[in-house]
Structure 1
Amino acid sequence: MAWQSRFDDFAFVDTSSKPKNAWQGENVPGSRPQKQPFSNCSDRHRGGWQAHSHDGGSFSSNGTNKNPDANGIKHIRICDLTTETSFVSIIGLIISKEGPKSIFSKKGTGTERHLVSFTLRDDPTAFINITCWGGQDYATRLSDQFKVGDVVEVKGAQVQAKSKNPSDEKFKPWTPSSFCLNLGENHGELNFYYGLDAENFSSLLRVPTRASNDFYTLEDIQANGMNLHTEHINIFALVKKVWPVRALTTKTGKHITKVDVVLCDETCSAFQLTLWGCFVNLTDDWKPLQTVLFAADVRITYSDFHSGMVACTDSKTVFTVDPDTLEAQMLSEFGRSQFSDTMNHDSVSVLESVTKDPEISSITNVLMVREVKKLQKDLLYSNGQCSYGVVYAFLSHFDIDADNRNIVRLACSKCHKSVNANGRCLCRAQDCSGNQLSAEPPSVLEFNVTVSLTDESGSLEWCYVAPAAIEQLLECSASEFQAADDSRKTRLKWQYLFERMKGVVKISGSNSAKSGKSFVRVMALEKIPHSEVLSGRYSAS
């Protein structure tokens, strides 16, 4: 049954108090002090955003435009709303959306009504919630038509004072305004705004809805533990991994989507955030180790499955993606350094996916160690370029019997990236089978060995050896090696340590042209028989 534009169910509160001028968010026990409170309405943001009157009109003291637009409609700024205002027209940027959903009348009539909610912003410190009521088709159409980042014009919305009952606001995003707006299917309009000043609102999407220093680090969340269970807090972190979207059906038959996102910051390498419903679409443009998030009012719970604290979105949550703050710039720089550091032997397969290696038998160019090192320097900023060669040298480091190193590791069977101790494979390949969120991702045991090769010109230290090359050299699989006792491992080591070896090496530049890193990987490694007569450059040693 469609709603007939009656607002009988709304409990109006007639108050003459002015909108509160300071930070009024809920204080979580142990949260950080609010050093940068929002004022009621400002004309400037420290990032340089300048408030403008809409359609070129200037604002009068009563909050309306002196000059109406071409249709004769007068717009009001959010911060100029008063208790004397009944119906208004506002232009603003959508910074959050929730719904559509349905509720039943509080009067017990059994009437079902449908709604979709938006949070509009027209100033760095002024934003307000608007609820659009109507039939199911109306709510669905609005939800499909409008998204976060759209500039819209609201016409004829009813102004309502916020309820003094805190429980009435616990399912809505926090706003500094003392009012909220209501729009009906047959009363008022919500349209896209295409005025000349529409672009002025775009920068508002990068201004956090809370003070930029009001957040928990991921380490703080884990340290507080159960003290934060079911609390709403702010998180400031870097996107590390976006899992594939999953479609679920609830017990009531409702279809819903979710996506799990792995976050990190300078204090914690992995923390899970789950996004539900409308929030899922926001992740389409999120990039690992590049996208910075300020997530206001995410819900924290303890997860038995993860044996720790996790976060999820709900109707109060508001995301600011890549906020225009100093803190975000610092975290972004941290992400760039992390991206460079992860291009090590654990992610060599990523480089291989970019550059297809030639057949090992076709690599015949003989190199001295000093020549390999020169190539490393030449490829520092090569953005993924590679060079290949053959090195004849002594195996000067082959510590496969060490107790303090993981010679064998569990890796994704498709991308060969390490699987975490909790059984989760954080793979960068979007189509990787290890991306499936399951307790037992497809994985295999493989060697994780580094060696040093030395000739008369120098040493190549800590070179990662391809797992297949180690299997061929030792003539045993990773699982067989893991099951062997220490004495057998030691015997295997001394069969090759300080022996003359032939190594086929790949010298790779990082995929990031700014990282200044290069890597040496041993693609094949074999022992040279003593009876073989060495020729060429190796005979000089």
Structure 2
Amino acid sequence: MTDVIVTKRINQISHDSRNFIIVGVIIAKSDPKFFDSASFSSGNDSGSARGVITLTIRDSERDTINSTIWGSQFIIDSYDSQFHIGDVVTITKAKVGPVGHDKSEQFKPTTTSAFSLSFAEQDGSRIKLYEGHDIDQFKRLLAVAPVPAAETYPLADIASGGQSISGRSVNVLVVVQNIRARKQIVIAKTGKIKYLREVIVMDASHAGMSMKFWNHEYVERIEKWIPLTTVLLITDVRIEYNQYYKAICLGMNSKTIVTEDPAIEEGDHLLVHAMKATGQDSDMTSSLTSNAIDPNTINSVMTIQQILDRAEGDLKDDQEQFAALCYAVITKFDLDGYSRITSRKCLNCKTMLRQSEERCNRTECLHNPYNISVYFDIPVDMTDHTGTLSNCRLTSQAAENTLNCKVEAFLKMSDLQKGKLKWRFLLERCALKFVIKRKSPIRFQTMVSIVECVIAKPQEVESKIKVY
């Protein structure tokens, strides 16, 4: 007698469900895991490579369930390459088990169903892409938020928790601020290659926090994310304290679900905030143009080696920035050469413009795209008896005060005039006051801003310069 196969919804599944079909959209997918089946069985295939992969399925705004697939390495690799987040699938004749019965469920995404599905290639179960006329209705379920926005944590609260909350899992609602290049990592234990994508995310409470994605599915999906446009609701994101940066970061675990552009009002509000935010680190100089620190308050004398040690060496602490007064010789000050010595930003949205951009192309600036400010952004190297500090930045008002010249007047100077101005400082010992911002998960490198530069008097140098 032929078994009768019926179509069920997730909320209709019970412990005695048999011979049924489930249709749903994949909202999460694990990386495949492989093992030597000799550890698990003693059949004819003992010793052959076998594997497992888990798909999390949604078939309504309320209902989700995990479906675990077992099989040979060939089968699992085939499923991994064929099925992806966003695909609508049909699962036929899967086995049903209670969630609490399987200890591995604690490592899978949290679902609404009290049951989970499992099947293997040899028991007659199968999965295939769905081709029904209502496929778009299922795809719209991708935007359903797995938890209310009220159950998410502000990034500022996570950051303030520090090292004490490392290892905990929370939910966050964020917008993509920046996406870093893909990195290739060789796993030491296995020699296999994995890929890492680092994404900087922000919300209304925090300007940026790093999140690392190891899951291959998301490493690929990140290519479609757009900074300051893509909103993410991430459940069960892992909090990780980065010892090198001495800062809190975020990471994925096996329970994490990422919902892209969730259909919630709070996501729209967050996007508006992101578009209006003016503190973007889109260019290194963007965080150096502010003259918020009074140079008169900077009196702590340091050598260049002490500055380097405090910024990245043995004296590094968990403070984001520090200030220093240094007596050093300026060894690079290319006012009349080929170095870039000015930058530009949009006065409306404060966004830094690349050298190739003649105007601001952001939507909110289209009414006045040429409202551009030009300011000094001069790279400076300086050397003392302990070492050299390279690529410091002398910007904005600090540069105008040093040169006693407005940027508009400087741009009208001849090369001869610029040369004379350069030699007033090049190879001269100066008293330089710095603000040093350490590298962090959202800042690629240490940034050194010169807030004051004057020619030093010999008596002052003699009385204040340090040996180390």
TM-score range for the pair, normalised by the shorter chain length: 0.5 to 0.7
2: CA distance, partners of 1:317 / 1:90:
23
What is the aligned-residue RMSD (CA, Å)?
4.0
1:450, CA displacement in angstroms? 3.9
- CA gap of 1:107–1:486, structure 2 versus 1, over 3 A, is closer
2: CA distance, partners of 1:452 / 1:480:
14
1: CA distance, partners of 2:261 / 2:192:
33
2:26 pairs with 1:94: yes
- CA gap of 1:141–1:164, structure 2 versus 1, over 3 A, is closer
Task: Name the SS for the 1:241 alignment partner.
Answer: strand
The letter for the 1-side match of 2:148 is: A
2: CA distance, partners of 1:466 / 1:342:
28
Q: Which of 164, 167, 181 is 1:227 aligned to? A: 164
Residue in 1 aligned with 2:369? 384
2:282 pairs with 1:336: no
Task: Name the SS for the 1:352 alignment partner.
Answer: coil
TM-score (norm 2): 0.64
Identity of aligned residues (%): 24
Contact 1:351/1:384 (8 A) holds in 2: no
Paired residues for 1:49-60 under 5 Å: none
Q: Which of 393, 414, 429 is 1:446 aligned to? A: 393
1: CA distance, partners of 2:409 / 2:56:
53
The letter for the 2-side match of 1:444 is: N
Residue in 2 aligned with 1:485? 431
- CA gap of 1:343–1:179, structure 2 versus 1, over 3 A, is closer
Residue in 2 aligned with 1:36? none
Residue in 2 aligned with 1:253? 191
Q: Deviations along 1:74-109, whole A, 9 cap, x unmatched?
A: 210001111121342100000011122213556575
2: CA distance, partners of 1:474 / 1:295:
57
1: CA distance, partners of 2:149 / 2:90:
28
Contact 1:289/1:339 (8 A) holds in 2: no
1: CA distance, partners of 2:279 / 2:409:
21
Q: Which of 112, 116, 120 is 1:184 aligned to? A: 120
- CA gap of 1:117–1:215, structure 2 versus 1, over 3 A, is same
- CA gap of 1:216–1:283, structure 2 versus 1, over 3 A, is same
Contact 2:428/2:455 (8 A) holds in 1: no
- CA gap of 1:351–1:189, structure 2 versus 1, over 3 A, is same
2: CA distance, partners of 1:117 / 1:171:
10
Paired residues for 1:147-186 under 5 Å: 147-164=84-101, 167-186=103-122
The letter for the 2-side match of 1:297 is: D
- CA gap of 1:265–1:88, structure 2 versus 1, over 3 A, is same
Q: Deviations along 1:499-528, whole A, 9 cap, x unmatched?
A: xxxxxxxxxxxxxxxxxxxxxxxxxxxxxx
1: CA distance, partners of 2:74 / 2:40:
23
1:446, CA displacement in angstroms? 3.5
1:315, CA displacement in angstroms? 1.3
Contact 1:88/1:158 (8 A) holds in 2: no
Contact 2:7/2:22 (8 A) holds in 1: yes
Q: Deviations along 1:308-333, whole A, 9 cap, x unmatched?
A: 11111121110001111111011011
2: CA distance, partners of 1:207 / 1:486:
55
Q: Which of 338, 353, 356 is 2:356 aligned to? A: 353
Residue in 2 aligned with 1:236? 173
Larger Rg: 1
2:215 pairs with 1:277: yes
Contact 1:448/1:467 (8 A) holds in 2: no
Paired residues for 1:463-502 under 5 Å: 472=418, 475-476=421-422, 484-485=430-431, 489=453
- CA gap of 1:124–1:481, structure 2 versus 1, over 3 A, is farther
TM-score (norm 1): 0.56
Task: Name the SS for the 1:132 alignment partner.
Answer: strand
2:247 pairs with 1:308: yes
Contact 1:93/1:122 (8 A) holds in 2: yes
- CA gap of 1:135–1:479, structure 2 versus 1, over 3 A, is farther
Unmatched segments (≥5 aa) in structure 1:
1-71, 357-378, 390-397, 401-406, 412-442, 454-462, 493-541
Q: Which of 181, 199, 212 is 2:149 aligned to? A: 212
1: CA distance, partners of 2:278 / 2:19:
51
Residue in 1 aligned with 2:384? none
The letter for the 2-side match of 1:125 is: R
2: CA distance, partners of 1:330 / 1:272:
21
2: CA distance, partners of 1:116 / 1:159:
16
1: CA distance, partners of 2:250 / 2:193:
21
Residue in 2 aligned with 1:140? 77
1: CA distance, partners of 2:410 / 2:93:
68
Unmatched segments (≥5 aa) in structure 2:
287-343, 346-351, 382-389, 401-405, 434-451, 457-468
1:118, CA displacement in angstroms? 0.6
1:354, CA displacement in angstroms? 2.4
1:276, CA displacement in angstroms? 0.4
Contact 1:157/1:188 (8 A) holds in 2: yes
Residue in 1 aligned with 2:138? 201
Residue in 1 aligned with 2:35? 103
1: CA distance, partners of 2:77 / 2:50:
12
- CA gap of 1:173–1:481, structure 2 versus 1, over 3 A, is farther
Residue in 2 aligned with 1:13? none
- CA gap of 1:387–1:163, structure 2 versus 1, over 3 A, is closer
The letter for the 2-side match of 1:188 is: S
1:73, CA displacement in angstroms? 4.9
The letter for the 2-side match of 1:171 is: F
- CA gap of 1:489–1:354, structure 2 versus 1, over 3 A, is closer
Q: Deviations along 1:34-81, whole A, 9 cap, x unmatched?
A: xxxxxxxxxxxxxxxxxxxxxxxxxxxxxxxxxxxxxx8521000111
1:472, CA displacement in angstroms? 3.2
Task: Name the SS for the 2:151 alignment partner.
Answer: coil
Q: Deviations along 1:168-198, whole A, 9 cap, x unmatched?
A: 3221111111111112123222111111111
Range 480-489 or range 256-265, more displaced: 480-489
Residue in 1 aligned with 2:10? 78
